Structure 1
């Protein structure tokens, strides 16, 4: 129901194996997809995926720091040069919009499509479409930062096969009519669709966090969610040495919260370059698994995570520096 493609998993600066923050989100509802954060080089990563800039419905920026937004003007310029004409939503803090508008003016950037700004501070529900809801949740960082909860709901009519067989109606066009909500005459009576078909609803929800020193702020957002994607910039030992100034999370802080919130799947991203080696990756994942009993993953660039309606996560690995 939800597919996440990681376009950047490093914090602060890119490394040889990892770009800075970017995450593409697809749903089963159609071709539209959403970009969460757009660090420098995001459009290069996108060229390594099947995604088209023509189908990008919105860009959601968690906060104003450059490793989360410096790729935005180039990406939108490329979409324009690719003859995109469909309007685009930019769901972002006001300073990101002001910076983008200044960049567009000062660099003579003329886009052949409308960019609509949605201020994340102004409303909790930042995007809604049939079967899809995106809400923002405030986090704790050096600047205002946010998470996005993405919820997808599909509804289809399921036939009550045993009841149809008991009624004696043979499979065929009449079954399809009942499934489509039509009543069907049969043997001198009328079979009502409401008696022989029922709605089957599937829901998948994922919480996608920006930079955040206090994972517990996402407790309400994680209610009913099957997946949490969150920064784990440091191990706890490294965070203790760095101190509270950068306002980031450790793998331990994140894992303890995810365990207490009962989230069944956890993906660690936004990893400090100091940990981007075999020992560092093992330390981050080991720390998370020591304090969290669900399914814990470290994200690599170009990894694909798919979440189904039952809450199961399937992972297709892109590249790895482990």
Structure 2
């Protein structure tokens, strides 16, 4: 899958970072998914090749404005762009109620249906062949969630030597067998299962919302190759701020990621106090002191690709 960071700042936008937004694409098709939609997200989308007509679902982690204030504008722009196909809004009930009130009070008429999926009622929030999105509960000042995204692809390869051994020449019958169909040949039935090898490749990423306790994601991270999680503060800054904001430090996150042995970790949602060379270096140093995997600090418009072997590559903005 491919992750494009549309905003990596905590609370408020800064000169170089917008508030939270993360685009998720997969190899399954043109459809893409948006995790959180802070104010200004649609401007960031305009700086990418992404089209709002291909947006399949918006997944909001929690009700705080830096994660959802961009939603009405983005959906209105999609409508003005002649979108007609339905869209899922996977979000806590208060986000849905706020959006419905905004739509009513601002005379917003969308030419497509918005279907609400309530996080409190559903654990499996999106399910289609090859793709599962599950929500996992986090710890924050308001109900907050993470999304576990699992992409599964199948590669079917013919056993060419076995087919030649029975005398079946290449052609339409080979394609039929590869597509799972049985074939009649020389008075016998050749069963597809006997002449194909199926390889299943799986990529799993856990995409967290605001969270003071990374260990809440222990179950979600089983089998995951990538964790994307907030690291609002360094540990020193968090100790000074205190527990009130209910955010994570780089150290808390790194220690958890190491404990579950997730091989790749992307930090995001940085406090403005750390958004300088010295601050980002401190976040990375703290992470590397407690985590031995591959760690990254996200920037706006960075693109990360996760393959089925668990390797992450990054293209910097």
Fold similarity call, TM over 0.5: yes
**Structure 1: distance between partners of 2:110 and 2:183:** 53
Structure 2 match to 1:314:
313
Structure 1 match to 2:98:
99
Structure 1 match to 2:280:
281
Structure 2 match to 1:292:
291
Q: What's the CA shift for 1:169?
A: 4.4
**Structure 2: distance between partners of 1:167 and 1:264:** 45
Structure 1 match to 2:223:
224
Q: How does 1:22-41 map onto structure 2 within 5 Å?
A: 22-41=21-40
64-73 or 163-172, larger mean C-alpha shift = 163-172
**Structure 2: distance between partners of 1:41 and 1:24:** 14
The CA RMSD measured in Å over matched residues stands at: 1.4
Structure 1 match to 2:154:
155
Structure 2 match to 1:69:
68
Q: What's the CA shift for 1:106?
A: 1.4
**Structure 1: distance between partners of 2:188 and 2:94:** 65
Q: What's the CA shift for 1:192?
A: 2.6
Structure 2 match to 1:251:
250
**Structure 2: distance between partners of 1:63 and 1:112:** 26
SS of 2:289's partner is helix
**Structure 2: distance between partners of 1:163 and 1:239:** 63
Structure 1 match to 2:87:
88
Q: Which runs of 5+ in 1 are unaligned?
A: none
**Structure 1: distance between partners of 2:79 and 2:183:** 51
TM-score by structure 1 length?
A: 0.95
**Structure 1: distance between partners of 2:81 and 2:173:** 47
228-237 or 193-202, larger mean C-alpha shift = 193-202
Q: What's the CA shift for 1:186?
A: 4.8
TM-score by structure 2 length?
A: 0.96
**Structure 1: distance between partners of 2:177 and 2:102:** 56
Structure 1 match to 2:58:
59
Does residue 239 (structure 1) correspond to residue 212 (structure 2)? The answer is no
Q: Which runs of 5+ in 2 are unaligned?
A: none
Q: What's the CA shift for 1:269?
A: 0.4
CA deviations on 1:219-242 (whole Å, 9 max, x unpaired) are: 100111111000000111111111
Q: What's the CA shift for 1:33?
A: 0.7
CA deviations on 1:197-245 (whole Å, 9 max, x unpaired) are: 0222111111000000000000100111111000000111111111111
